[in-house]
A and B are shown apart, each in its own frame.
Chain A
Amino acid sequence: SQQGEEDPQALSIQEGENATMNCSYKTSINNLQWYRQNSGRGLVHLILIRSNEREKHSGRLRVTLDTSKKSSSLLITASRAADTASYFCATDAEGNTPLVFGKGTRLSVIA
């Protein structure tokens, strides 16, 4: 069952602009993770935010989590052409349960 739902489905921006992607989920979570997938490749972990955290930074990435609204956002600042990829949120409930992935946002950064 898919829990996370990313929005928008596709996003196209100019190099140097900021890109914001959103994720909504349905049930209580233990943590939320964001992954990136380059075309035709496997997924790579970007950042994890726990349910008791509200914001987290990693380089040009900023993730927020609002558990009351069951939503998260991923901000990529000063985007580069190399950021072109699909981005997925994944949620994880308590215990040793599999991650549940959303359908992803396709980001295109135009040089």
Chain B
Amino acid sequence: DVKVTQSSRYLVKRTGEKVFLECVQDMDHENMFWYRQDPGLGLRLIYFSYDVKMKEKGDIPEGYSVSREKKERFSLILESASTNQTSMYLCASRLGEGSTDTQYFGPGTRLTVL
């Protein structure tokens, strides 16, 4: 089974802190994604990556950056956390050979910024 793990289930940070959310997948998937999920807004795509050292902006990239130095790891960075970044963050991966591939999700990180 594909496994996507996220570094923390719950995280509490202060405004202005730099925050790293880590995601690791174990199935050699090429594609990786970061979403945030908020009540009433569903899942919104922040950033995605089709390959190592490659990144693409999603629908809401402002205030975030990403890093993909290794194929299995995709990190989401909040350079200076703000209270409006309090949310559930979901990482996903996909094989990437075609659009019929399933996306596999991690368990999510619930981030609270005080």
Residue numbers of A with Cβ under 8 A of B are: 1-2, 30-31, 33, 35, 40-45, 48, 50, 88, 90, 92-104
Q: B100 at interface (Cβ–Cβ under 8 A)?
A: yes
Kindly identify which residue among A35, A88, A98, A101 contacts B48, using a CB–CB cutoff of 8 Å: A98
Known interface pairs A40-B108, A98-B33; A103-B102 also in contact (CB < 8 Å): no
CB of A45 within 8 A of CB of B103, answer: yes
Q: B31 at interface (Cβ–Cβ under 8 A)?
A: yes
Residue numbers of B with Cβ under 8 A of A are: 4, 31, 33, 35, 40-45, 48, 50, 58-59, 88, 90, 92, 96, 98-100, 102-108, 110
Residue of A nearest to B43 (CB): A101
Interface of A, helix, strand, loop or mixed by DSSP? loop
Residue of B nearest to A2 (CB): B42
How far, in Å, is B87 (CB) from chain A's closest CB?
13
> CA separation between A97 and B59, bound complex, in Å?
13
